[in-house]
Amino acid sequence: MTEITFASFGFAGSILGALKAAGFEKPTPIQEGALPAGLAGKDVLGIAQTGTGKTAAFALPILQAMAANKLHSRRFATRALILAPTRELAVQIEQEFKKFGAGLGLNTVLVVGGVGRMGQVNRMSRGADIVVGTPGRICDLMSTRNLLIDQCQFFVLDEADRMLDLGFMPDIRKVVAALPTRRQSALFSATMPAEISGLAEGLLRDPVRVAIQAISSTPSRIEQTVHFVDAGAKRALLSSLLHDPSFTRAIVFTRTKRGADRVALQLNAEKISAAAMHGNLGQNARQRALEAFKSGDVRVLVATDLAARGIDVTGVSHVVNYELPNEPESYVHRIGRTARNGAEGIAVAFCDATELPFLNAIEKLTGVKMEVASGTRPAHAQPARKPQRHPDLVVRKPKPRRPQYGEQRKTRAA
């Protein structure tokens, strides 16, 4: 069997050089599947979990086309538009375009919310080759005609299922409606709920379908354990785990933004360097937290699902599910933050009595029974707790007393 190399796809020399410099030796399976179609100008429907190399799978054909055809966009127009669900993902995608397109002299513009729009408008005024952004700000700039996509030749929707979860479908429909019919499109998603296949049908023309691994599969390189623990004992358990130096770079997931802030504060109080990252923080604060974590300045990133999906940091030794997610797919995404690029990783789950149904749903989806690290697995899920009031505390409305015979009715006017 001959091994497929990037060179065999006929990429421009500067792209090949950049791939080599980035340490990309051979294409990943999704790249092997999607690159020939993309390079042939075909639409692509890619189904693959995170960490499989989707970014290069859609970025390289666009760059190759632009290397061969150096058109200039008119003011505020772009030749390629990439939509991502979160700002961090958009930043990562933009960086990847810049990395592999470094020698091509292209103008790449990032259009995301949470930062001023003026700078983005200014950059768009020169005309762009590639715009990477999040749906809200993209629509915002389109509405003021500071972003024109009527001549856009390449359109990519990344992490489409996440877009759906975040309520971006109306924005995406607006964008798609403004695209020209003659274009090349790609849609990537880890899962294919009905809404996404519907969207794909309207968006893609005769697409080449590339499916790599169902979302239900967790990489076998990840060791998965669970601690059965009372909700009130999670804090102490977390700090005792994090005092173990083998937790060189850990992401701790909480369900809520406030929970993330609380846990990060508590860890810092215990001299464990931690930063919180979630959707309530401004874009700069989020990026700062991520950079500090990447550079190793902080050892622990405490994050919500929104902030951490798709984030690509190498060398994450542990993922701690401080609270289990109620959507089992989120668990798969969370633990996919470790064991990237074929490395090994450890996923630790904390499960209190109320979270047992979540644990069961996760184990059913992944088909992996987590090893019990501490506590004992309860035989039955505790029924979802309905707040039960003590009978003494139930307030009954007093019945209106009928006026007794002869008693004067009180009037309001009195």
Name the minimum Å distance from CB 162 to ligand ADP.
11
> For residues 341-400, which are near ligand ADP according to CB under 6 A?
341
Q: Say how far residue 412 (Cα) sits from the centre of its chain.
A: 60
Q: Does 262 bind ligand ADP (CB under 6 A)?
A: no
Q: Does 213 bind ligand ADP (CB under 6 A)?
A: no
- Comparison of 51 and 259: residue with beta carbon closer to ligand ADP: 51
Size of the site for Mg ion (CB under 5 A): 2
Give helix 135-143 / helix 118-125 axis angle, nearest 10°: 60
Name the minimum Å distance from CB 332 to ligand ADP.
12
Q: Which of 53, 61, 219, 328 binds ligand ADP (CB under 6 A)?
A: 53
Residue that the structure tokens 């464990």 belong to? 272
| DSSP state letters, 56-112 | HHHHHHHHHHHHH----PPTTBEEEEEE-SSHHHHHHHHHHHHHHTGGGT--EEEE-
Q: Which does 73 bind (CB under 5 to 8 A by kind): Mg ion, ligand ADP, none?
A: none
Q: Does 54 bind Mg ion (CB under 5 A)?
A: yes
Q: Does 33 bind ligand ADP (CB under 6 A)?
A: no
Name the minimum Å distance from CB 23 to ligand ADP.
6
CA distances from 105 to 11, 94, 98 (A): 16, 14, 10
Q: Which DSSP helix (H) or strand (E) runs through 222?
A: strand 222-228
Name the minimum Å distance from CB 251 to ligand ADP.
15
- Exposed/middle/buried for residue 98 (C-beta within 10 Å: 0-12, 13-18, 19+): middle
Q: Does 335 bind ligand ADP (CB under 6 A)?
A: no
Name the minimum Å distance from CB 135 to ligand ADP.
18
Q: Does 134 bind ligand ADP (CB under 6 A)?
A: no
Q: What is the rounded CA–CA span in Å between residue 172 and residue 34?
A: 23
- With CB under 6 A as the contact rule, which of the stretches 43-51, 103-111, 277-285, 394-402 interacts with ligand ADP? 43-51
Q: What is the rounded CA–CA span in Å between residue 135 and residue 167?
A: 10
3-state SS of the chain: helix, strand, coil percent to 5?
A: 40, 15, 45
Q: Does 31 bind ligand ADP (CB under 6 A)?
A: yes
Q: Which of 56, 157, 179, 251 binds ligand ADP (CB under 6 A)?
A: 56
Q: Say how far residue 111 (Cα) sits from the centre of its chain.
A: 17
Q: Does 189 bind ligand ADP (CB under 6 A)?
A: no
Q: Does 218 bind ligand ADP (CB under 6 A)?
A: no
Name the minimum Å distance from CB 23 to Mg ion.
18
Q: Does 28 bind ligand ADP (CB under 6 A)?
A: yes
Sign of CA dihedral 297, 298, 299, 302: negative
Q: Does 87 bind Mg ion (CB under 5 A)?
A: no
| DSSP state letters, 175-240 | HHHHS-SS-EEEEEESS--HHHHHHHHHH-SSPEEEE---TTPPPTTEEEEEEE--GGGHHHHHHH
Name the minimum Å distance from CB 158 to Mg ion.
6
List alpha helices for 215-355, DSSP H: 234-242, 257-269, 283-295, 305-308, 328-335
Q: Which of 38, 135, 219, 310 binds ligand ADP (CB under 6 A)?
A: 310
> For residues 5-24, which are near ligand ADP according to CB under 6 A?
23-24
> 93 is written with which tokens?
């995608």
| Binding interface with Mg ion (CB under 5 A) | 54, 310
| Binding interface with ligand ADP (CB under 6 A) | 23-24, 27-28, 31, 48, 50-56, 310, 312, 340-341
